[in-house]
Structure 1
Amino acid sequence: GSQSRNCFKTIEAALKEGGFEMADIVRATYYVTDASYIDAHFAVCGEVLGDIRPAATLLVVSALAKPEMKVEIEVTAKRRSA
């Protein structure tokens, strides 16, 4: 859960820097290194994303760049028209 929250904090900061907001997320790809993390990860997704429902893919992978990394999140955002 905590790594998922940290990923979303980083994503939110990057989006804001680019003039976007979390509601602009239209696609998310989630990478976890153990299937046992999925329930906690999706609980965090529900807390953070709320009514934002991006198209999503979740992959269970054997490892990420560093052994301590257990979760990685990649998003695509599209600016909503006003």
Structure 2
Amino acid sequence: MGFSRAVRAGAHVAVAGTAPIEDDGATVGPGDGRAQTVRCFDIAERALAEAGASLADVTRTRMMLTDITRWEEAARAHGERFADVRPACTFVEVSRFIDPEWLVEVEVEAVVAGGVGGVGGGEPD
């Protein structure tokens, strides 16, 4: 497919839409929006680290949910990670994801100092 989990361009790091999947491809926490959001942030945090950034550098998050009435589950996980950082955050409802078990995907953007390049595998989530 040809994409990077995260790309760093100078001070900016963008982490692609990140789904709630285990390393073996299984969906984390089917039916549990908070657990799925936690897993998405775990993956995004790892991608940030590979790009020389951390959650403390995050300036924006995008939370995509298949059922916006469940936003509080994702918000709870977001608050656990970003209570002190307080990035700009947007919640949107989408019609579906690649896997119907996924309730949420997240994107994060960060600002740090330094180089350019893609990190992380180009595997679909």
TM-score normalised by the chain length of structure 2: 0.61
Please give the per-residue CA displacement for 1:20-79, whole angstroms capped at 9, x wherever unaligned: 010111011110001232011111111111211111111011101211111000011101
Sequence identity percentage:
36
Q: How many matched pairs?
A: 80
1:27 is aligned to 2:60: yes
C-alpha distance in structure 1 between counterparts of 2:102 and 2:48, whole Å = 22
Which residues of structure 2 form unaligned runs of 5+?
1-33, 114-125
Residue of structure 1 equivalent to 2:110? 77
Who is 2:81 aligned against? 48
Q: Stretches of 4+ moved more than 3 A in 1?
A: none
Structure 1 counterpart of 2:117: none
Q: Which range moved further: 4-13 or 31-40?
A: 31-40
TM score, norm. by length of structure 1: 0.91
Tell me the secondary structure at the aligned position of residue 65 of structure 1: coil
Higher helix residue share: 1
Cα RMSD (Å) of the superposition? 1.1
Q: Which has the larger radius of gyration?
A: 2
Match of 1:36 in 2: 69
